[in-house]
Chains A and B, each alone.
Chain A
C-alpha cells in the first residue's frame, strides 16, 4: 500500500517506518516506472539518501521536525535547486545550475522532506506537450497513452503513480489544478501572494503561484503550510500573518454556503458527462454534510479566458524576449511559436485586459458575499490521448482554472470520481482570497465522504 503523507508521518513518528527504507522503496519504483510515465527528468539519489539518513537520525533521536520529516517528494524543474540542474525542461537552460534553492525548496527541506529528483514540466511551464525537447513529456499513469495536462505534468504523474507522496507545482492558468484533475490527485493553487515565488522561474509574474500536488487534500494542506508566510524578497508576497491551514481541516462543512457556477460548465463550455457527474457529486455530497448549495452567475467563462490569456501571453513574452532573439531554435516549436503570437499583442491590448481583470475581480468578489465557496469543473473531460493537444489548444479550448488566477483566489482540484473511460475526473472548489483553509476544509470533507482515494492507477504499487 502506498501511504499518504499523513499516514507515513504517523508511522515515522511511531518508529514503524524507516525514512531511508521509504526513500529507497519509492526511488526504486520511480526509476522502474519512469520509462513509461517520464515523470522525472533527473533523479537525485545522493541527495535523497543524505536527507533520508538525516530524517532517520532525527526519528531515532526523537527530534522529528514535523509531519513532512522523511517524506519523499519531487520538485517541478522550474524550481531552482542549489547545485542541481534546473532546466525548465528546455534546451535553453540545459546547463543551468543554480547557486541557491528556491524559497519553497528550502522551506520543504527545512521541514525534512526527501528530494527524489526534478520533475517534468511543460517547457517553461507553457510549452507542452512537446516531443522536440531534450526529455519526453510526462505520460498519465492511468493510461500511458494519455495526457497529464500541464504544466506540472511530472508532478501529477509521479503523485498519481505513488512514486512521490507530494511535489511542487506552479499555477499561472491552471498548471496545478489541470494535472491534478487528469491524474486524479489533489492540488491547490493558493491565494496569489500567499507563498514566496523566489527562485521559481517565472511565466507571468502577475498570475504565477506556487503550490503542492498530493494524493489527498490533507496532504496538500501539510505541504502548503511551510510554504506560506511573508517573504520580503518576493514583491508579490502578501505582508500578512501566516495562516492556520491545519487546525480546522477536519471541522466539516456544516453551514458553509457553496455557489455552483453552473453556466461555466453547462452552457459556456459544456463538460463531458463524467465531469458533470463529478461536479454534481461534490455538490450533493457537501450538501449532505450540511453545506448549503446555491447557483452563482458570473460573466461568461470566455471573458475570463480572454483576460487570462492576454495577460499570461504578454507577461511570458516579456520574460522570454531576450532569449527569443538569441536562442530561438533552442525552444521547442510549441512554446516559441506561442511566444511569437504573444508578441503581436499591443500595450493597449494588455492594459485593456488588466482593466477588464479588475472588473471581473469586483464581480466575483460581489458574488462571494453570498457564498463561502464556488464550485465548477477543473477540466473539460477525462484525459485525452497525449497526441491530441496541439500547438494552439490553449487558445482554443475553454479553461476552467484561469478565472481564478485572474482573481487571485485559492482554488483546489479534488478527484470527483471516474468518467466514461474509467479515468479520473476533477472538480474545482474556489474560496475567497486568503481563505485557503476553508477550501482545504471542504475538499477534505468531500474526500472523507467518498471512496475515490482508495483507487490508484494499475501501474502504481
Chain B
C-alpha cells in the first residue's frame, strides 16, 4: 500500500473545486487517498499507445 497523496498535491487538487472543507476533513480524506492511488496504479497496465478507451455510447444515425 503506498503512502497517502502528499499534502501540497492533495491541496492543489482539492482547491480546484471550491468545496468548503475544514482542515480536519481534508486530512481525513487525504489519509484514504491510498485507495484511489492504488486503483489508479492498477488500471495502468502496459498497453500499446494506440489502445482506445471504451466507447460507451454508440454514435447516433443522423436523420435526414
Query: Smallest CB–CB gap between B27 and chain A, Å?
Result: 12
B1-24 interface code vs A (CB 8 A; 1 in, 0 out): 000010000100110111111000
- Which listed residue (B25, B40, B53, B56) contacts A349, Cβ 8 A? B40
| Size range of the chain B interface in the assembly | 20 to 34
Any chain B CB within 8 A of the CB of A83? no
CA distance A303 to B16 in the complex (A): 29
Q: Are A361 and B29 in contact (CB under 8 A)?
A: no
- CB contact under 8 A between A236 and B36, given known A324-B19, A325-B17: no
CA distance A328 to B5 in the complex (A): 23
Contacts of B14 in A (CB 8 A): 340, 343-344
Any chain B CB within 8 A of the CB of A345? yes
Q: Are A325 and B18 in contact (CB under 8 A)?
A: yes
Any chain A CB within 8 A of the CB of B62? no
Q: Are B42 and A341 in contact (CB under 8 A)?
A: no
Within 8 A of B (CB), among A331-366: 337, 340-346, 349, 351-359, 361
Any chain B CB within 8 A of the CB of A396? yes
Q: Are B36 and A395 in contact (CB under 8 A)?
A: yes
Q: Please, which residue of chain A has its CB at the minimum distance from the CB of B13? A: A344
Query: Smallest CB–CB gap between A399 and chain B, Å?
Result: 12
CA distance A361 to B52 in the complex (A): 13
Q: Are A321 and B17 in contact (CB under 8 A)?
A: yes
The tally of CB-CB contacts under 8 A between chains A and B is 105
CA distance A392 to B4 in the complex (A): 14
Q: Are B53 and A358 in contact (CB under 8 A)?
A: yes
CA distance A392 to B34 in the complex (A): 11
B24-55 interface code vs A (CB 8 A; 1 in, 0 out): 01001100110110111011110100011110
| Size range of the chain A interface in the assembly | 35 or more
Q: Are A343 and B19 in contact (CB under 8 A)?
A: yes
CA distance A343 to B33 in the complex (A): 11
Any chain B CB within 8 A of the CB of A238? yes
Any chain B CB within 8 A of the CB of A158? no
A217-241 interface code vs B (CB 8 A; 1 in, 0 out): 0000000000000000001101100
Q: Please, which residue of chain B has its CB at the minimum distance from the CB of A232? A: B60
- CB contact under 8 A between A343 and B13, given known A337-B29, A357-B53, A359-B51: yes
CA distance A305 to B39 in the complex (A): 8
Q: Are A352 and B40 in contact (CB under 8 A)?
A: yes
Q: Which residues of A contact B (CB under 8 A)?
A: 205-206, 235-236, 238-239, 302-303, 305-307, 309-310, 313, 321, 324-325, 328-329, 337, 340-346, 349, 351-359, 361, 392, 395-396
Please name 13 pairs of A and B residues whose Cβ atoms are closer than 8 Å in the assembled complex, sorted by A.
Answer: A236-B56, A236-B57, A239-B58, A302-B42, A337-B29, A343-B19, A344-B14, A344-B29, A355-B51, A357-B54, A358-B51, A358-B54, A395-B32
